[in-house]
Every structure is written in structure tokens, then in C-alpha cells.
Structure 1
Amino acid sequence: MVQFSRICFRKYANFVDNLRLYVHGGSGGMGLPRLGGKGGDGGDVWVVASKSMTLRRIKDKYPQKRFVGGSGANSSIRALKGEKGKDKEVCAPVGITVTTDDGRILGELNAEGDRLKVAKGGHGGSFYSAFEPSKGAAKHIRLDLKLIADLGLVGFPNAGKSSLLTAMSNATPQIANYAFTTLKPEIGKLMYKDYMQISVADLPGLIEGAHINKGMGHKFLKHVERTKQLLFVVDVSGFQLASKTPFRSAFEAVQLLTKELELYKEELVSKPALLVVNKMDLPDAEEKLSELKEQLQNPDDFSDLLPADMKPKNYLSFRHVLPVSALTGFGIDHLKSCIRESIDEDAATETKAIHQERLQALRHHSH
């Protein structure tokens, strides 16, 4: 069994995952009509990915949230071709999607050093423009961060996701016996004895209707997009969000979570998934667990338990169904080793695929 030592936990106080900026390319320089000189083009504005940057830091460092490229130099007798204005770079965290105000995607920055031009500088004045320069492009853009983690915890409020993280570690997320205690994403790192690290994103609890942006809605679901695998967490006894909402069994909770992910973005449910059945210290837990396992093996036989609008198109098949008690620590070690096994399995498959691609490319070149 894989030895697991501890979890390092980073809490995101005042977490910012969306920022609106004003960007403006620099103006071009004047041309010189007498000698047919061309003014320098204005500087462009770029967003550049940097692992050390956060949106909170941009917000604090540039309260005006305004980024303008340098102006191009005028053409002169000494320099008929004016120098280009200085480009302006906005350092942003890795995992950013850049969109316009109306939601059009301009590009994504997924790796350190990725660059995206967001505002072009104006042209310098020349013979073709009667030596008049043009202004740079100006617009508002949004930087939208999606957390990148190996594992995303998915569960309704009160499923015990935060308690689970605490049980796996000496971390102290805010835990209370009411819904919506996790309102900001948090990332924990599982540290293994061989120095392997697995990052876990604990995300705000979903509620029914999240896909249409109820509750934390899209704010939560967009972070799930960037995780490699999903860790569903359900309460073995089921749950009831509020006195006016219906009680849901553990089986219904699994299908509801699947449905919410599916409605938001169908490809989310093709990610590898593990299911943690929490609160095994409760009375009748064993009985309820065996009932849940049977239902998950033959979901179609039990689909009449679900209202039509709660039925997912495809039932998820979990790599592991893991009973645990975050309260007593039961099953926690086994869960950790299964997480490791699942992540390792995917990494091996990925490496194999890359290796095969390279072999095919080599064969293709040799022919």
C-alpha cells in the first residue's frame, strides 16, 4: 500500500477568480511628409502567464486596472522610421481564460510563459495614411481563472468534504454543521513519502440547479473543468438541503451531482471519478452502503426513484467506491492509496500515448 504522510493546505483568503481590466494599444507616431518618413507603430498589450502571479496581486498592484501600450515615435530627419512604442505586459496566473465583456473567448494561458495579445497598437503615420497615425485598439477584457488541480472534490453542502480534507491532514478548513461553509476554493496538496504530490481542490458545495447559476453555480463548476479527476463525496444517509427541499438518498445525490455536471458541460462526466461514501460511523451505515452499491451496479433498475429531470444521460461508473468516516478516520488510509493509484494509472496511460505518437512520427519520417 502507498505510504502517505501529510497534506499541505493553502487557504485562499479573499480569493479572486475573475478580474475586469481596461487595455489600450499605444498610438502610432506621426509620419514625416517632406521626406516620406513613417512613424513608429504603437506598443501592443499582452497578457503573459506567470506561476508566481495571482489575480489578487494584479488587483492590489494596479488599482486602476488600466494597461496602455507605449506611443510610437514620430518620424524625424534623424530617424525617418520612428521606433515602435513599448509593449505593455500584464502578468497573470497560469490557468486564465481571457474573454471580452460579452463573453467571447480571446484565448487561454495554460502554461508558464504563454502569451496573448489583447490590444494592438495603432499604425504609425505613412504615405498611405497621409502621414497621420492611428490610435491603438481599446477594450475591456476579463481574466477568468480556473483552478488547475489533480482532483476536484464534488459534493452537496454538508457531505463532509472539508472534514474529509481535515481527516487526511492537519488542515483546518472552516467546518460547521450548516450548508455553504466552503464559499472559496481551497487547494490542498497530498504529499507522499516518495515526494509525489497530488493537488486537491475543495470547491464550494453544489446545489440542485447549479448549472443554471443558482447558488455558487458557475463559479464552482468552472473550476471542475480544470481538474484531471473527480472525487464525489456523499453522505451515506443522504441529505436534505433545507426543510422545503426534498430529502435525497445517497444514490439520488450521486445522480444529481452527475446531472449538474452534465448540464453544465457534458465532457465533465467523462473524467475518471472516485466515490467517497462518508459518515460510515452513523447507525445503519453498512446497510445503506450495500443498498447504494447495488443501486450503482444496476442504476437502470432504480431509475424510477429519480424524477425525469434528475436522470443523467449517462450513469457514471466509479473506479472505486470508498466507505469512510472523516470523524473516526475509518477508511482514510485506503482512500489515500486509491487516489494515488488512480492518478498514477492516468499518468502511465498518458506517457504510453505520447510514446506511441512519437514512434508513429518516427516511422512516418523514415518512410
Structure 2
Amino acid sequence: MVWLNRVLLYATKPKKPLRAYKKTGFLDSIRIYVKAGAGGHGLPKFGGIGGQGGNVVMIADENLSLNDVVKQHKTKRLVAVNGKNSSHNFILGPPGADATMQVPVGVSVYTDEGKNLGELNEAGQQLIVARGGPGGHPKNGFLGVIGQARSVRLDLKLIADIGLVGFPNAGKSTLLKAVSHARPKIASYPFTTIKPNVGQLMYKDLRQISMADLPGLIEGAHMNKGMGHRFLKHVERTKLLLLVVDINGFQLSPQHEHRNCLDTIVLLNKELEMYKKDLIDKPSMVIINKMDSEGAQEKYNQVVDKIRHLDEAIMDYPEEFRPERTLKFDEIVPLVAKQRDDEPKIGASIEYVKDRLRKLLDVHALPDQGKQIDEDVKLKSKLEGELVERARKLV
């Protein structure tokens, strides 16, 4: 009777409606079941070979999101067609049709065991995630082989030129809104950004640079605290890290210790390093925001030299806070991201920030272009040598 009362009470209890962001949230990972087609049986009497089973193929499309993928494939199942059996009319059995799925650019495909099947980083790129079974032939007793079947995880990592990194309420969304046409949610409380936003920086010569605003990190993000790994992974594919810090520092809650401006930079450096050490090698720039607050200029003068020599400044911190390697900032820019035109200018202008970001991306792209040219020259020389050697043998 007690159990029945509890059931009835639970059934009549009004449920809280889902929050808006949970209804239309940003998907960056989905799991689907894929099954390739089985090969058709052969025909031993005439030596017929069965048709190859169809593959399951992912195709990258830059105009899609994982939300679109879920809408198009509500069952989250993708099954290819089996190959046809060999017959008197078709000694070579017709192959089964492939099953294709359009996915966003930037998707990595993993098995349940964690094996990386491949990445789709360019529009039109294709990846076979389940191979069809071969048809029946003399070596397998003319029996068709079943195709691969498994569950795979599509893991999306945003591809952007610039990644905004910082603690909550540092002004990342405000900066993105100021430099681009993006309209992220902005408010005066932490964790306003609950899903990544991507904006395009537009220039007069029609150049476009993409910037990703990621939800604010907290201490321990590398251990998956807060939104941790779910959004740190999006930083991996950016070309330049743009740290945004509040000149007044940050305090997550009254129970947490207040961190000053320099502390937040050191902790962000530590979190990035603990998540993936390669991130420290990325080009970086830091913006000291909210320079219109009281005493901001004095605080800036006290920390700017320490930020320039961060490798020396970290020696004053306890070992548990001290990163092994430090970010090398190409520039330190004081800024008021939320500044109206009728107010006196404080710090750098938004146009200056856009110009510097463009120049930094171009400067750091030059070594990569040089490496590619060297590789092309070496390949050309190698091919010329092989052709000459073959010509000698023919003579």
C-alpha cells in the first residue's frame, strides 16, 4: 500500500518544464549504429562470385550541424544494402548500395572501444565507417561474408581560426559581439555562455576570420570539472588562442578563493597544459578586459611586465599551480570590450584588436606555408630522380 501511494504521488507530481537551452542545446557528440551489407553468395556450379556488400560512408558537409544529423536520422541507425547472390543471369552478383550520411566538417569518428576511425576536416571528404562483406568466391566456399556492424560516436570539434579562452564572466561573449556579427547571450553573471558560439570577423577587403566563443572554464577543467572536456576539445583545432581575462580577477563563489588577473592567466595556462600539452605551442594573445573599472590602470601597470615574462612570474606560485611550460603571448592588449562610441576611449580599439588578430594569423601561417613548399620541392626532386633511373633501365 505504501508503495502504491508513492507511485500515485509521483505520477500526480507536476514536473518542471525543460529549460530552453536544454530543448535546443548544442550537440557536439552523438552515438549511432551502423551496419554494412553482407556479401552475396557465389554460384559454385559456374564459378559465380557474389556481390560485395554495401559500405556505410560519412561525407563531410560544411552547412550541417549534428542537430541536423539527428533530425535527418531520428532512429540513429544506418544500414547498407546486402550484395546480390550470383545467378545464371548474373555470374558476378551486383554489389549492394552504400548507405551514406552527411555530417558536419570537423567530425571525428570513434568506436565504443575508443578507436579513432578517422576525421572529416574538409567539405566533401569521405570516410568508410563500416565495410561491406565480400561476396562468395572459391576461397571462402562461395559463401558471402557478413559486413561490419557496430556503434560509433561522432565527436564534433569546432574548426575556427581563433578560440576564446577564459574564466566565466571575463567578457568573451561581449568581445565576440563587438568584433563580429554574432549575437551571443550576454549578462552580468557567470556561465552566461552554455554552448559554443562562432562569429565571423569581416574586413573591408572581404577577408573573413572565424572566432569561437567557448563556455567559461573553471579550476579543474582538465579533470572534466564544470563543462571541462566537452568544450576544451574545441580549442584543439583553432589556429590561435585568445585569452580574455578580467583585470579585477575572478571568484567563482563566496566559498572559492578570489584570483587576481595574473592568477587567472597562470591557472588558464595550467588547465590548457593539463588537458593537452600541445596547446601550449599554439600562437596566443591575451586581452585584459574591463579597463574602465576603478583602479584598473594601476592593476594593469603592476601585472603587464609579469605577463610578458610569465615563465619567471610562475616561480612565485606553489608547485601545484605552476605549469611546466608557459604560453608565449605575441601581444598583451588592454581593452574595454563593452564601450560605447560616445564614451572616452580607454585602452585599445576594437578595430586595433581585429587588425592585430589578422596579422598574427598571417605571420604564424608563413612557417607552415614554407614547410609545405619544402615538402613539395623534395617530392618533385624524388619523382624526377625515379624517372631518370627508370629511363636508364629502359635504355
Mark yes or no: TM-score above 0.5.
yes
Secondary structure at 2:50 match in 1: coil
Cα distance change of structure 1 residues 71 and 301 upon mapping to structure 2, 3 Å threshold: closer
Secondary structure at 1:34 match in 2: coil
CA distance in 2, matches of 1:142, 1:290: 48
- 1:16 corresponds to: 27
Cα distance change of structure 1 residues 294 and 90 upon mapping to structure 2, 3 Å threshold: same
Per-residue CA deviations over 1:183-203 (Å, capped at 9, x if unaligned) read: 111100000001111100001
Deviation at 1:308, TM superposition (A): 1.8
TM-score normalised by length of structure 2? 0.85
Deviation at 1:364, TM superposition (A): 5.2
For 1:334, which of 348, 352, 362 is the aligned residue?
Answer: 352
Identity of aligned residues (%): 46
Deviation at 1:297, TM superposition (A): 3.4
For 1:244, which of 234, 255, 272 is the aligned residue?
Answer: 255
Secondary structure at 2:33 match in 1: strand
- 2:321 corresponds to: 310
For 2:272, which of 261, 273, 285 is the aligned residue?
Answer: 261
Deviation at 1:279, TM superposition (A): 0.4
Larger Rg: 2
| Larger displacement relative to structure 2 (67-76 or 112-121) | 112-121
- 1:7 corresponds to: none
- Asked whether the equivalents of residues 52 and 83 of structure 2 are also in contact (C-alpha less than 8 Å), the reply is yes
Deviation at 1:16, TM superposition (A): 1.4
- 2:197 corresponds to: 186
Unmatched segments (≥5 aa) in structure 1: 1-12
One-letter amino acid of the structure 2 residue matched with residue 165 of structure 1: L
Secondary structure at 1:178 match in 2: coil
CA distance in 1, matches of 2:139, 2:314: 70
Structure showing greater relative contact order (alpha-carbon pairs closer than 8 Å, 6 or more residues apart): 1
**2:98 aligned with 1:90:** no
- Asked whether the equivalents of residues 180 and 200 of structure 2 are also in contact (C-alpha less than 8 Å), the reply is no
Per-residue CA deviations over 1:337-356 (Å, capped at 9, x if unaligned) read: 21111112123333333334
- Asked whether the equivalents of residues 24 and 137 of structure 1 are also in contact (C-alpha less than 8 Å), the reply is yes
- 1:216 corresponds to: 227
Per-residue CA deviations over 1:140-166 (Å, capped at 9, x if unaligned) read: 001111100010000000111111122
- Asked whether the equivalents of residues 237 and 285 of structure 1 are also in contact (C-alpha less than 8 Å), the reply is yes
CA distance in 1, matches of 2:182, 2:140: 64
CA distance in 2, matches of 1:309, 1:17: 32
- 1:141 corresponds to: 152
Cα distance change of structure 1 residues 366 and 304 upon mapping to structure 2, 3 Å threshold: closer
Secondary structure at 2:230 match in 1: helix
- Asked whether the equivalents of residues 182 and 204 of structure 1 are also in contact (C-alpha less than 8 Å), the reply is yes
Deviation at 1:171, TM superposition (A): 4.2
| Larger displacement relative to structure 2 (268-277 or 338-347) | 338-347
**2:368 aligned with 1:350:** yes
| Alignment: residue pair count | 355
CA distance in 2, matches of 1:359, 1:132: 50
For 1:229, which of 235, 240, 249 is the aligned residue?
Answer: 240
Secondary structure at 1:328 match in 2: coil
Secondary structure at 1:35 match in 2: coil
Cα distance change of structure 1 residues 172 and 37 upon mapping to structure 2, 3 Å threshold: closer
Per-residue CA deviations over 1:39-92 (Å, capped at 9, x if unaligned) read: 112111111212223211110011011111111111111111211111111211
Cα distance change of structure 1 residues 289 and 99 upon mapping to structure 2, 3 Å threshold: same
Deviation at 1:359, TM superposition (A): 3.9
Secondary structure at 1:336 match in 2: helix
For 1:45, which of 45, 53, 56 is the aligned residue?
Answer: 56
Secondary structure at 2:85 match in 1: coil
- Asked whether the equivalents of residues 281 and 327 of structure 1 are also in contact (C-alpha less than 8 Å), the reply is no
Secondary structure at 1:245 match in 2: coil
| Larger displacement relative to structure 2 (322-331 or 356-365) | 356-365
For 1:150, which of 158, 161, 169 is the aligned residue?
Answer: 161
Deviation at 1:34, TM superposition (A): 2.7
For 1:131, which of 142, 145, 169 is the aligned residue?
Answer: 142
Deviation at 1:245, TM superposition (A): 1.1
CA distance in 2, matches of 1:300, 1:148: 29
